[in-house]
Amino acid sequence: MRETQLIQKFRRKITLKCNKAGLEFFFYKIPDGSKGGLRPFDAVLWLAGKTFAIEFKVGKNKLEPHQKYCLDQVKKTGNRALVIRETDVDSIIEQIISTCLVTRAILKKYGNSFKKQSN
């Protein structure tokens, strides 16, 4: 499987799962550098108030040092950084969806009361 196929598979499956769960999302594939520029990671997913930085890897490909650095920086900001391989697409999507459903349930129950208490 090529990386583009893996990205398409992920996009198709996350779209189906989000639509089924009633979750709004935005998926953005960062364009490949036409002049050989380095991308920090392959894509960004915004879902239920959460940001996911995603790097897709196929075969035995490993993270490049700049990718590891960028994903670590994303984690330091309190967001999520994922490395997705063809063997774990389904399990990672399930984890993403279940995390976002829990978040949605908490926000539905408590609304903005967290913000009001911290003022």
- Direct distance between the N- and C-terminal alpha carbons of the chain, in angstroms, rounded to an integer: 51
Structural domain count of the chain:
1
What's the pTM? 0.84
Structure tokens at 99: 């995390």
- The boundaries of the domain holding residue 85 are 3-118
Contacts of 36 (CB under 8 A, 6+ apart): none
CATH code where residue 59 lies: 3.40.1350.10
- Tokens 């790097």 belong to residue: 55
pLDDT in the model for residue 118: 47
Each of the 119 residues of the chain gets a pLDDT tens digit; together they read 899 999 999 999 999 999 999 899 999 999 887 666 688 999 999 998 889 999 999 999 999 999 999 999 999 999 999 999 999 999 999 999 988 888 878 877 887 665 555 44
Contacts of 4 (CB under 8 A, 6+ apart): none
pLDDT in the model for residue 111: 74
Q: What is the number of alpha carbons within 13 Å of residue 102 lying toward its C-beta?
A: 5
